[in-house]
A = this chain, B = another copy of it.
Amino acid sequence: MNIATIGTGIIVEGFLQAVEQLDGASCHAVYSRKEATAKKLADKFGVQTTYTDLTAMLEDPHVEAVYIASPNRLHSEHATKALKHGKHVICEKPFTSNVKELEALIALAKEKQLLLFEAITTVHMPNYHLIKKHLHQLGKIKLVQCNYSQYSSKYNQLLAGETPNVFNPEFSGGALMDINIYNVHFIMNLFGSPEQVRYQANRHPNGIDTSGVLTFTYNDFIATSVAVRIQAA
């Protein structure tokens, strides 16, 4: 399968390294708004084709699937466009900025009979499947606590008055979208939908959540899900 990539962040390099190890998959093209950025990434992974025009890339008949790693806010637009051009889609987390966008994407993928994946890796890992398989042996679950906290390399920029995408409300950034989403998948893939969810967040003056606590109330147990995307300045 020939894949094309949208975005040139560090995660795309991780994706391309993974593709290199796959039989039957290869990267056919990379897209970036800037030619130099596209070229640099393409050269690093021996990709022949670069695009700075997204439509042109999606019209390339050699491209079968698209990996989307643009800023969160653009996921929906890019995935929609890719599906409309008949390409399968693997989209970075968070899938979309809201449920409405996701439902539209799912409907479109079904209509077009195309594959649509969110690149949440953790729930596909062997250790996660082992947890799921042996969960019943733990007896009755009463309390689940998840914590995914990590210093963001972009936090210094935020403190310096800049607004990197990951801390930009305009780009659907924030701790929940960025890393707490892993806890959400961890919990909901094991236990399904809770009766109630509540989010308490620390917010930057620009409104973005830099850390927060999710509480999931199930019929007979409780789960907490914490993410901190910063450290003390």
The B-contacting residues of A in range 181-211, CB under 8 angstroms, are 198, 200-202, 210-211
CB proximity of A178 to chain B, nearest CB, Å: 15
CB of A139 within 8 A of CB of B232, answer: yes
Interface residue A108 (Cβ < 8 Å from any Cβ of B): no
CB of B202 within 8 A of CB of A232, answer: no
The B-contacting residues of A in range 204-228, CB under 8 angstroms, are 210-213, 215, 217, 220-222, 224, 226, 228
B residues less than 8 Å from A133 (CB atoms): none
B residues less than 8 Å from A217 (CB atoms): 200
CB of B233 within 8 A of CB of A221, answer: no
Interface residue A115 (Cβ < 8 Å from any Cβ of B): no
Say how many copies of this protein the assembly contains.
2
The docked-state distance in angstroms from the alpha carbon of A196 to that of B30 is 49
B residues less than 8 Å from A98 (CB atoms): none
The docked-state distance in angstroms from the alpha carbon of A200 to that of B222 is 7
CB of B142 within 8 A of CB of A202, answer: yes
CB of A226 within 8 A of CB of B145, answer: yes
Q: Is the interface of A mostly helix, strand, loop or mixed?
A: strand
Interface residue A47 (Cβ < 8 Å from any Cβ of B): no
Interface residue A140 (Cβ < 8 Å from any Cβ of B): yes
The docked-state distance in angstroms from the alpha carbon of A230 to that of B142 is 9
The docked-state distance in angstroms from the alpha carbon of A140 to that of B200 is 17
Interface residue A143 (Cβ < 8 Å from any Cβ of B): yes
Interface string of A64-100 (1 = CB under 8 A from B): 0000000000000000000000000000000000000
The docked-state distance in angstroms from the alpha carbon of A220 to that of B202 is 6
Q: A143-B202, A213-B224, A215-B215 are in contact. List 17 more A-B contacts (CB 8 A).
A: A138-B232, A140-B232, A140-B233, A141-B232, A142-B202, A142-B232, A143-B213, A198-B198, A200-B215, A200-B217, A200-B222, A201-B222, A202-B220, A202-B221, A202-B222, A211-B222, A212-B222
Closest 3 CB pairs of A and B: A139-B232, A142-B211, A200-B222
12 residue pairs A–B, Cβ–Cβ below 8 Å: A141-B232, A142-B211, A142-B228, A142-B232, A143-B211, A143-B226, A200-B217, A200-B222, A202-B220, A211-B222, A213-B222, A215-B215
